[in-house]
Structure 1
């Protein structure tokens, strides 16, 4: 025998209502069940929890202390319930989204927010490798990335088809070109991304296929840092064509060896579903159809 959660609930309900009958109605159990919980708790610890005065049960000072704990426990239960149900409702649910690129993920988030304003949205950003791991470890509910592994771990919704392009400062002599080659880029200061970047994987494959081994001027962890380096005319970098919504001093120029297009997708674990995650993927499907219509 012990001071079980059921007994603590019964003690708190009697203290709130002043009778076994009212406590039983509140808890949805029988009156004998409530009175049994009280008797067992008093006998177990040799204490008195209630005094009867004027036909009502009044908590003793000891019982009042116990009820303070019971209230905190009840709040913890309510918080646990909120956590457990936050993925099951679009009224006040929650979703965490992992983005590899700012776009098109942010555009899909904006559309989702318009349709489901009650859902609390959290966003994490990182490399391709980091977002894949975050989805697998369940630290994010949905990832948005290009070129994800094609296996049974994920269910995915295509958003847009795109390729990696070179990004050059608008004043760069090659910025007006229709297309560049890896051989031409070898003669330029290059800005690469660090290991784990989906962009860099495509760039590495393209140079290797051309039989070239470039030595970059800079290797940067963050895509924003690479973008800013190009915006400041430090060198030529690389980006997914629709990887950002920015249109400032940077020009995007296709590269002949990087013309393979990849689907940017919203994806989640295949074996897990929730109302909120399904709604986000549905919005992603609508976004994808809108992009096809604009193509």
Structure 2
């Protein structure tokens, strides 16, 4: 902050009078801002968000010793314990939890201040880190966004919904496209699209000539499932549970391995219509007696929803949903 004379507007004693520190006298001293190291608060906040000094250093793009020193200086200056160092890692003390609630608001306002200072720019610029559950879900939205905002640099990281939400909460990404609306008050979620869950089998399977399957057919059928955290798996398991059917999971494998496992005859696979890739070795099987579907949502942290790039991405998702509704 620049040194020199600080001008503060006060209530005027007479109509038309503007009071400043020039005529406020001793009142200026009582209004002086208390000092606290912003960098120390920032290091504390990053540790609280990331859960470790390593994660905090990565968030701040500084060294781990820098974070450790600033955190210790903050605690030492006020003679308090903000972070407890346990064998299982760092945990916030009760005072640390209270301070974290304040720094969440502080750094949200800090982001708003930066946005205000940048608001005069006519072209949206910057960087946007996107997390998504599958290329099929995110690419249409990504294409629409980059077409409208070509000066924004984007990066895309893919995983399941649970992992994307975790990275979002820890602020390693800015926005996400996920297969669930997380019940987390810290997140803002907007519906983006809806996809039917389908099954598929190899071309030599007895079901290959069918037009579809019923949920009851799955009672004894070996299934190839995605990992836990996959929303297509979660909604199918819920539909089966409602009918008292326990799925027979023969193999649990990541997204890329499901198709090859089905082709190898390990079981019937689960995917969504938009993710199913036509292959002469497999047959897609709709579920004919239940409405089993996943929904895709664009999500961001509520505390960062006013950041210009985040706000633009969420508005793009909302517009796409409205056009497809």
Structure 1 residue runs without a partner (length 5+): 7-83
In the other structure, the counterpart of 1:228 is: 260
Change (3 A) 1:284 1:227: farther
Cα deviation, residue 255, structure 1: 2.1
Structure 1 segments of 4 or more deviating over 6 A?
none
| Matched ranges for 1:125-274 at <5 A | 125-170=158-203, 172-220=205-253, 222-242=254-274, 244=275, 246-249=277-280, 250-256=282-288, 258-273=290-305, 274=307
The CA deviation at 1:256 is 4.6
TM-score, normalisation: structure 1:
0.62
Q: Give the secondary-structure state (helix, strand or coil) at the position aligned to 1:174.
A: helix
**CA deviation vs aligned residue, 1:143-187 (integer Å, no higher than 9, x gap):** 111222245322222221223221233554424533312331234
Deviation at 1:192, TM superposition (A): 1.0
Deviation at 1:227, TM superposition (A): 2.9
1:282 deviates by 1.7
Distance 2:216 2:238 in 1: 14
Aligned equivalents of 1:173, 1:110: Cα separation in 2: 40
The alignment's C-alpha RMSD in Å is: 3.0
Alpha carbons of structure 1 residues 137 and 232: separation in structure 2 relative to 1, 3 Å: same
Larger RCO, structure (CA 8 Å, separation 6 or more): 1
1:224 to partner: Cα distance: 1.7
Q: Indicate yes or no: 2:324 matched with 1:291.
A: yes
Deviation at 1:114, TM superposition (A): 1.6
Match of 2:129 among 88, 96, 101: 96
Aligned to 1:23: none
Measured against aligned partners, the alpha-carbon deviations of 1:10-30 in whole angstroms (never above 9, x if no partner) come to xxxxxxxxxxxxxxxxxxxxx
Give the CA deviation at 1:203.
2.3
Shift of 1:102: 2.1
TM, length-normalised to structure 2: 0.56
Corresponding residue number in structure 2 for 1:277: 310
Structure number with greater Rg is: 1
Aligned ranges 1:53-92 → 2 under 5 Å: 91-92=124-125
Instruction: Give 5+ residue unaligned stretches, structure 2.
Output: 3-113
Q: Structure 1: how far apart are the matches of 2:228 and 2:260?
A: 19
SS in 1 for 2:185: coil
Q: 3-state DSSP class of the match of 2:244?
A: coil
Give 1:257 shift: 6.1
- What CA distance in whole angstroms lies between the structure 2 residues aligned with 1:291 and 1:175? 32
